[in-house]
Structure 1
């Protein structure tokens, strides 16, 4: 369907020859915000790697950002990944260059050449994350929350259809985490789909959304937070 950013149907997901998740039915519409939860080893990472085509989909059907995962050729994988912005827990910023030059590096690496267009895009994404006037700062001069905002800005550079946020608040205090959540929700409200892997039960309660749980080789969807066993989440 055209309004689905992710649409995976009747899929079995393998890591090498090991079946990790079976009969996966998983969809995310444009502009949807959803959580991905589950214990370590439950298959969350394998599902994310399938979405980014790091693990090939061999059994079932799947489309991500308009790309058919079953028919995806190796040369098409970079084009798919250009439509996906990834936000990491540990930032992965280049510490030897400024915020501006961190973002410049990504744009140049993805084929941008027009200096004016580059400057305008960097200004736009920093404005979205409320860091417009800190482009000259080095990463070590920023707080953890500010560094994560830079990471989100970096993920937005190529106008992605999907943001994959992997524990984006894992290294942040609660107040800062809530600020990051607000930015992610603003992005979903603008039409970008957001899938956030997290263990943070406070944020799930405070910002309720569609939730997918990886458990016992299955992916279970719930629309109602009362269906989730929060105590089991605390043990993740």
Structure 2
């Protein structure tokens, strides 16, 4: 495993309950790499992501993520692993009765931050990164879908993660807003974080080309370029 590799999975069989979902998985992801994860519904994308964040145990094969051994990891270590990850969901999952600032404050307090000045500075920093530094007082329903997703990305960045796992982050957004969110995620990867993005929005792969990994027929396959991907087969 090289110094730049942040995720390395070898000869892994990935199970959902007792069902084998993906077999013989080999995956190496470097710091600062942007990767698309594609495949039909039920092809194993979510199971792979859940294995990376230790939601699903790795029973067969080897896996190291951000320095944690997925086979040997103990339950009490899982929160420490997850602090090295930022998760971006399609459906935002913001606390609707709290301002943008208080949504971010909630996460910092939950992950052990105590110093008020440091908390204030960190929230200010991440909101500036996503271009929302003047909207910290607003409630989620007062924001557009794109702005809500920016808050979710800010939330994902709070603990300075090494990996961002983005699950259909543009799923509920119009094309122009999707492009803005993509530019932001690409920028985040250029700052040295690995970004893994599961998506069905294949237009983005053509617009923002990057390494693409496809879940198909129980296997993980590398697709070099968008031009080589049979998008129609994924839509079935």
Q: What TM-score does the superposition give when structure 2 sets the normalisation length?
A: 0.98
Decide whether the 8 Å contact of 1:11 with 1:59 is kept in 2.
yes
- Report the counterpart of residue 69 of structure 1 in structure 2: 70
- Report the counterpart of residue 81 of structure 1 in structure 2: 82
- Report the counterpart of residue 213 of structure 2 in structure 1: 212
- Report the counterpart of residue 107 of structure 1 in structure 2: 108
- Report the counterpart of residue 232 of structure 1 in structure 2: 233
- Report the counterpart of residue 152 of structure 2 in structure 1: 151
Distance 2:124 2:8 in 1: 33
- Report the counterpart of residue 135 of structure 2 in structure 1: 134
- Report the counterpart of residue 125 of structure 2 in structure 1: 124
Query: Aligned-pair distance for 1:226?
Result: 2.1
Distance 1:200 1:169 in 2: 8
Q: Report Cα offsets for 1:135-167 as digits up to 9, x if no partner.
A: 011111100000000000000000000000000
Write out the 4+ residue segments of structure 1 that deviate beyond 4 Å after TM superposition. Answer: none
Distance 2:180 2:234 in 1: 22
Of 140-149 and 69-78, deviating more is 69-78
- Report the counterpart of residue 222 of structure 1 in structure 2: 223
Q: Report Cα offsets for 1:166-190 as digits up to 9, x if no partner.
A: 0000000000000000000000000
SS at match of 1:168: coil
SS at match of 2:234: helix
Query: Aligned-pair distance for 1:16?
Result: 1.8
Decide whether the 8 Å contact of 1:201 with 1:233 is kept in 2.
no
- Report the counterpart of residue 15 of structure 1 in structure 2: 16
Distance 1:228 1:134 in 2: 40
Of 179-188 and 226-235, deviating more is 226-235
SS at match of 1:71: coil
Paired residues, what number? 235
Distance 1:17 1:138 in 2: 42
SS at match of 1:81: helix
Segments of 5+ residues of structure 1 without an aligned counterpart are none
Query: Aligned-pair distance for 1:234?
Result: 3.4
Distance 2:74 2:234 in 1: 37
- Report the counterpart of residue 50 of structure 2 in structure 1: 49
Distance 2:147 2:35 in 1: 23
SS at match of 1:191: coil
- Report the counterpart of residue 200 of structure 2 in structure 1: 199
Distance 2:151 2:63 in 1: 31
Q: Report Cα offsets for 1:43-77 as digits up to 9, x if no partner.
A: 11110110010111111111111111111111110
